[in-house]
Amino acid sequence: MTPDAISWLYPLAFLALPLPLLIYILLPAKAPVQARALRIPDIEPYRAYTDVVVQRSPRRWIRVALLVLAWAALVTAAARPQTFAEPLGVPVTGRDLLMGIDISGSMRETDLYAGNTRATRMAVVKQVAQDFVARRTGDRIGLIMFGSQAYVQTPLTYDHKTVQHFLSEATVGLAGRSTAIGDAIGLGVKRLRERPDASRVLILLTDGANSAGVVEPLEAAGVAAQSGIRIYAIGVGSERTGPTFGSFGTQQRSELDEQTLQAISDVTGGQYFRARNQQELANIYREIDRLEPTEQDAQEFRPLDELFAWPLALALLLNLLWAALHPSVLSVVLQPLRRGESLS
């Protein structure tokens, strides 16, 4: 690392370097203290103390030098030295991608499998969608949840860990037990068309038909097409038909309106997919990866390394050396050595 590779966050901190010298010059000298004399019959047991006093002159300047160096190290740490590492390529597409997830009551149905384990539709969707988000490096991703109402759970962001967190916290029935597909599309259009970029994508996942809301799905899809938004619709659920019973003991039916979902995708230039199990759903998201690929190394990022810990550690070490050279410390160490005693 070359010296010009180091930058200082607070360079004005170096103005404090002469501060101890100014204090020494400006403050009045301390009046000498008249010490009381102690008469002792034999000086030999106190020889170590007298040796320290006699030899303190050269050691005193060593201790002063240690203090000066320690102060310089502290000031250097306060100035916050930093350095930038080698540039790293960050894949950025500029693509704005919203995920609309159905959390209506029918998503409690346990007609899908996660591996060999029977699971609810919501559990399978969470797992596959989180994997999809992890692969979309460089995209701005947002999250819309919808049931009887639609709401934005996460705005468009590069913080994919937050999106994954809120995906894992999605609760079935929180937005009502019906399905407002049109409102979810309308909310997605409102969020996406404000973005300046041309590549805007809405992934709409549902297991039912539009049964709530104030906006018709096809009408919302037409507005999406005018705004340059592609919609990839995913229908989730097994082929089983007929009424089932939810966890609240009330009858609930999941009737997937594939015709409407297909029309939504066609109008917007997207594509409709059908997921009957976890593997099919995972394959669908990988197909969307292929249709909406991420670009590589569009931008560069230089990681910032903080270096203040090194001068701070040096200051601590110098202070420990200064303390070790103090006469009182030396006397405790030297006296048993002169007597041939073990320090343990």
DSSP string spanning 111-128?
A: -EEETTEEE-HHHHHHHH
> What pLDDT score was predicted for residue 336?
57
> What pLDDT score was predicted for residue 44?
61
Tell me which of 117-131, 211-225, 230-244, 328-342 is least confident: 328-342
- Gap between the Cα atoms of 203 and 213, Å rounded: 19
The 10s digit of each residue's pLDDT in 197-234 is 668 899 999 988 998 889 999 999 999 999 999 999 99
Helix (H, G, I), strand (E, B) or coil at 90: strand
- When pLDDT is averaged across residues 59-81 and rounded to a whole number, the result is 88
User: Any residues with CB less than 8 A from the CB of 138 and at least 6 apart, and which?
Assistant: 90, 91, 92, 93, 95, 158, 294, 295, 298
> What pLDDT score was predicted for residue 231?
95
The mean of the pLDDT values for the chain is 80
Q: How confident is the model at residue 87 (pLDDT cuts 50, 70, 90)?
A: low
User: Any residues with CB less than 8 A from the CB of 145 and at least 6 apart, and which?
Assistant: 100, 101, 103, 151, 153, 170, 174, 175
Helix (H) or strand (E) holding 230: strand 229-236
pLDDT at 339 over 60: no
- Gap between the Cα atoms of 160 and 162, Å rounded: 5
Q: Could you give the domains of the chain?
A: 47-86+304-344 (no CATH), 90-240+251-299 (3.40.50.410)
Residue (of 138, 44, 61, 136) closest to 99 by Cα position? 136
CA atoms within 13 Å, Cβ hemisphere of 44? 2
DSSP strand pairing (112-114 vs 96-102): unpaired
- Answer yes or no: are the C-beta atoms of 97 and 136 closer than 8 Å: yes
The 10s digit of each residue's pLDDT in 273-323 is 998 888 889 999 999 988 888 665 455 666 778 888 999 999 999 988 888
- Gap between the Cα atoms of 237 and 277, Å rounded: 7
> What pLDDT score was predicted for residue 65?
87
> What pLDDT score was predicted for residue 153?
93
DSSP strand pairing (140-146 vs 271-275): unpaired
**Residue 305: strand pairing partners:** 83
- When pLDDT is averaged across residues 142-155 and rounded to a whole number, the result is 93
> Which long-range CB contacts under 8 A does 116-119 form with residues at least 24 apart?
119/278
Evaluate the CA torsion angle 256, 262, 263, 269 in order and state its sign: positive
- Token readout for 278 is 């976890």
- Token readout for 61 is 């300047």
- Gap between the Cα atoms of 229 and 202, Å rounded: 7
Q: How confident is the model at residue 267 (pLDDT cuts 50, 70, 90)?
A: very high
- When pLDDT is averaged across residues 35-43 and rounded to a whole number, the result is 62
